[in-house]
Structures are given as structure tokens and as C-alpha cells.
Structure 1
């Protein structure tokens, strides 16, 4: 069988740019080069796309805070239409050699909110991960909660405010409904970017200011007391769930630094020390969430398991981190799927979905 070419897109304009570079580094290092050729497409913080050499695309690659793209003069453009000429190298005006499938590793806004997925659909390329709709609704914590509640899946109570309602956010009124402490989150951010925990009125208003720096819609959410349980899901029509893991934060809450920078910021207990019944409940509910939110390919579902056995969905990550301390690949490794095998399965799932969708009629009259 001939080798396929995988285009890996990483970087991006979001606050998770550096996380994306770490994820890309790990995927490039683990992908089976006997089976796949790779083309690296880095998205600068300006939003421009560039072509990179796999040997020299990163600087400060061992420092999560300082990791960055190297300079490239090979800017690229995307062109909708036939698969033979979707991505153009502007320095030569020539199409890049055929790319068979895209592995997007752009975390956060414009990467896992449906924006990039829409571009990839437009240029008619198979791509790894959740499609446009599932990406958009899963990224938006407001809409995800509405959909999950409608399906009868427990979520934390919260209040949503848009930027124009900022003057209506009154500490006493919010605390009367949600209690203390509360978590304040940008609705369309991941990796705990812009998230803060408030125990006092001063922390409350500081948290609101911080959250609105990252989004024009914020969520103020009750604090759910429970064990932090995560479960990885893999598949399209017949997805499977990993063994659950438990996050044991070593800081006040599972922050951005705990997830991606400080290797001692959290301990992953995996498999989680759960009863067989609770393990099955986590895996079954993770699959239910995955399907309800129209996910395909991959996702990580995060829960709180309360002392009374109630399982509450915290959030769904449709493009979880692939860094060396990220939970998604670690959970699959514990479940018997190695990192290279996981990458291979995700690519095959991308082809499977594309083959299904390409058979759909796009015209009424022929």
C-alpha cells in the first residue's frame, strides 16, 4: 500500500498557541514514517499559514513557555475545490504536493470551534477529529450545557452573560443563586485559559474582567465538589471509551500551567480508583455525551464524581492536548492503545468519515 501524506496544521491565533506547538511536536515524533509522509503547516499568531521543514520548525522546543515557530518565508494559501490543488505555496505559486488527510492540532478559538473544520470541509480534504457542528457546540460551554441538559445529562448550574450585560453582573445576585466559591470562564476558550476561582467579591469582579479579555460571553458556574474524572473517546459511528483517569491537582484548581507547563502541577491517577460500577458509568456516560454533541473521531469528556455517586459533566474537549503530559494519549496508552497506534486510528477514522460524506448527493438535478 502506498504511503499517505498527512498535513499537520498547528499553532494558531488563540491563547493556546504554545500548547498547540507542543502537541504538534509529539505527533510529528510519534507518527509512523514508514506509513505516512508529513507536511507541516504552521499558523503564526498573525493567522498566516506557512510551510515548515520538519527538522527545523520549532525553537525553544524543550521550554513550554518559550516554544515558538521558526521564521518561514513560505507562506501558503488555501483554495477551495478539487483535492489536487487545495494548498498553494505562495513563494513558488505552485500547489503543494498532494495532501491526503489533515491532522489539525490547533487548540482553542479558530482551531477547535468549527472555524478550521469549515475551511477543511471547503477545500475538500479529510481531516482528523470532530466535524464543524460538533466542534462548535462542544467548544461553546453555554450551548453544550443546553444540549446536555436537554438529553438529561447532569451539568453544573451556571449563569451566562454577554459583554453588553456586564453592568448587570451583580455579585450578591449571582452568589444568591450559585453560592461561593464560583468559577468564572470565557465560554469559548479551552485549557482553563482565562478561568478563575472566586471566593470573595473582589476576586469575583477581577475574574469577570479577566474572562472578558478572552471572549465576549462568559459563564459563571457553581463549584461542584467531587473527584475530577476524565475519559477519552475514540471512534465514529461506534466509538469506544478509555479507562477513566483521575486528576489530582496540586494547585487550587487545574489551571493552564498545571495542564501544559508544570509537570508536577497535577497527578494523573490512572486507571482511576473507582468501583466497577462507577467505571462503567463514566465510560457509558462519556459515550453518551460524545454522541449527543455530534462528535466523531476523538474527544475527552471531563466529569465531577460526587460523593453520592452523581456524575456531572464538566466539559468536553474535541481537540485535547497531545503534549507529553496530556491526558488523552496517556489514557489510551493505559487502555492498550499506543501513541503511534492512536495517531494511525485517528487518521483512518478521518478517511472513513470522508468516504461516507463524499457519497452524499450535492445536487438535486443532474
Structure 2
């Protein structure tokens, strides 16, 4: 068993050495920005990643994914490696990963398969559930159907309350909690914007995130769980952006038995989706201590104040060490991984 799989009884700290003088001598592209609704969060990650890498003596070039394709390709041609400090559509869904693989440029994070399936919440739930992880019941919304009939179908399948949200958006963008009757559910469905939408059974409880780090040999290390407490119990887009009241606790204020279950489910989900190097998994922990897996973040935010960095810090891992782990993970033969 890999040393990463075993948590020391004396010290629960993952040691990642700082860079050697002969590491990362060629320019590194920090890809950020993009055109998704998570552009601002991506730009914040890009700035902090660039500052940290530069501070370690690593040469960087910041590339905004939203630049014209010709310019993007020309600038990537001189890069030896790409750090994906970006999130949302066009970046976290496998499209960017496919481009970089076609160009032969090593990149950080998960590959095309994990990125595409992880971003599609319905597909991700199917795969993760098959691996024995508890997930909420969910159904896709037929946008072409009569909204009242669709609301009645969803209520029959899921009951109330339910969450209505986009299938392929991150950061809880577009999330609506419906607690009243079918008229309110009809209204939520009718206000759904373009794209694929879904309804999901609402589980009340504590919002908890779990970070997973993986080495090149498949060994995993689970970071301390982080709890986000909001007044209404919903970890919304506004809460994640810091524009709504939210308190954070790391480690999370839950029992050791529940923590063990969260670790097991996070690793099972990470592997079921073929994630690589690092991932962050969002759960709801109900009052009885049972955990429900909600979604994966294959490219979680990389700002210093972000959830992944805070979990790493609680484990004794500095921001720079976390970035070096992520950066070293780019050196993998993608032909041998999905």
C-alpha cells in the first residue's frame, strides 16, 4: 500500500518538498480567465498561482482562455507545461484538456474523461453511485415539455423540497431551492436559462468539502474536511463568492465516524470518475451523520483563501507545496490515462 494511503497515527501531514533548482526550467503557462460565469473566480486563481510560482523562481506566462484562438495557439506553442487555474464551461468540462493533449502540452489536473463526466452532474452521479457512494435522487428536466406537467412529474419522482440547477455549471450557479407547491416548481422550471437543467432531492444538513490529493502511482491522501455554515443551510453561489454570510470550520465539526465515511466516499468518487492528481468533493452531512455526495470539482479554485488551500493548510501543507504537488502531476503520460 502506498504511503499516501496511510495516515500516520503520530502526524497527519503530507510532506511535499519544495522545488529543486533543476525543476521547471522552461516557461509554464498559467491558463485562466475564459468566458464562463466563473471567469472572476478563475482570474483570482490565476493571479495568485502566478504570484506564487514566480516567487518560487518559476518562469510563467499568464494566458486568458478568452483570447482569439490564433493568439492562444501561438502563445501555447512556446510553453512546456500548462497550469489550469480556471473553472467552468470550456475549461473544466474536458474541452481545454482535449486541446492541450492534441497539442502535446502537459497540463495539471484530471484528463478529458474525468473533466467531462465530472462536469455533467447527472452522469457523475450515475458513476459515483455505482461505486457505492450515496448520492441524492435526481432527474433531468425536459425543457421542451409543458412546465406544469414537468413539475408534476418531478414531484412524483422526487417530492419536495428539491433543488433546480444547471447540469453543467460549477460554483452553485443558477441553483434554486423549491420548498413550496408545484406552482413554484413550475416557475423555477420556466425560468431556467439555456442549456441542460436538472432537479435533485434536497438534503438538509452541513455543507462539507473534502479534498483528495493523488500521487503518480495512484496513492491518495485525504485532506481535512472543511465545513461551510450558512444561515439557510444552502452553500449557494453568493456564499461561495463571499457576498453572503458564511462561516468556515476546518477541520469540520463532525464525528470521527462521519469523517471516516467522508474520506472513503471522496476517494471512491475520485477513482470512479478517473480523477487525477487532485479533486474536491462536496457533501451534505445530515443530522444523523450520514453523508450525501453532491458533486466533484476537478479544477477547484486555487486562490490562497480557497477551500482547497485552506484544507491543505490545516494539514500542514503550505500553499506553495500544494501548487508544487499539482504542478508535478502534469508530468504524466496521458496516453496511459483516460
TM-score range, shorter chain: 0.7 to 0.9
Alignment of 1:117-132 (within 5 A): 117-132=97-112
Q: Which has the higher contact order (CA 8 A, sep 6+)?
A: 2
Pairing of 1:1-366 with structure 2 (within 5 A): 1=22, 3-44=25-66, 48=68, 76-78=71-73, 88-89=74-75, 98-165=78-145, 167=147, 169-200=149-180, 201-213=182-194, 215=195, 217-236=196-215, 237-251=218-232, 253-262=234-243, 265-351=245-331, 353-354=332-333, 357=334
Greater strand share, structure number: 1
Report the CA distance shift for 1:164/1:340 in structure 2 as closer, same or farther (over 3 A). same
Between the aligned partners of 1:166 and 1:347, the Cα distance in structure 2 is 49
State how far apart, in whole Å, the 1-side matches of 2:26 and 2:150 are: 56
What is the CA distance between 1:162 and its match in structure 2? 4.0
When the two structures are superposed, what TM-score results if normalisation uses the length of structure 2?
0.85
Q: CA offsets per residue over residues 260-308 of structure 1, 9 Å max, x none?
A: 242x531111101222222222112211110011000211011112233
Output one character per residue of 1:49-98: Cα deviation in whole Å (capped at 9) or x when no partner: 5xxxxxxxxxxxxxxxxxxxxxxxxx6142xxxxxxxxx15xxxxx85x4
Equivalence for 1:69: none
Aligned equivalents of 1:172, 1:209: Cα separation in 2: 13
CA distance in 2, matches of 1:274, 1:255: 21
User: Structure 1 residue 115: deviation in Å?
Assistant: 0.6
State the distance in 1 between where 2:188 and 2:123 align: 21
Structure 1 unaligned spans of 5+: 50-74, 79-87, 90-94, 361-366
**Partner residue in 2 for 1:66:** none
Distance 2:279 2:145 in 1: 32
Cα separation, partners in 2 of 1:197 and 1:336, compared to 1, 3 Å = same
CA contact (8 A) 1:156 1:222 kept: yes
- Quote the offset at 1:102 in angstroms: 0.4
Question: How far did residue 125 of structure 1 move?
Answer: 0.9
- Residues 301 and 317 of structure 1 are in contact (CA less than 8 Å); yes or no, is this contact kept in structure 2? yes
Counterparts of 1:144 and 1:24, CA distance in 2: 27
Distance 1:279 1:129 in 2: 25
Q: How big is each residue's C-alpha offset from its partner over 1:4-47, in whole Å with a ceiling of 9 and x where there is no partner?
A: 42101111121111111111122122225344110110123xx6
Q: Under a length normalisation based on structure 1, what TM-score does the superposition of the two structures give? A: 0.79
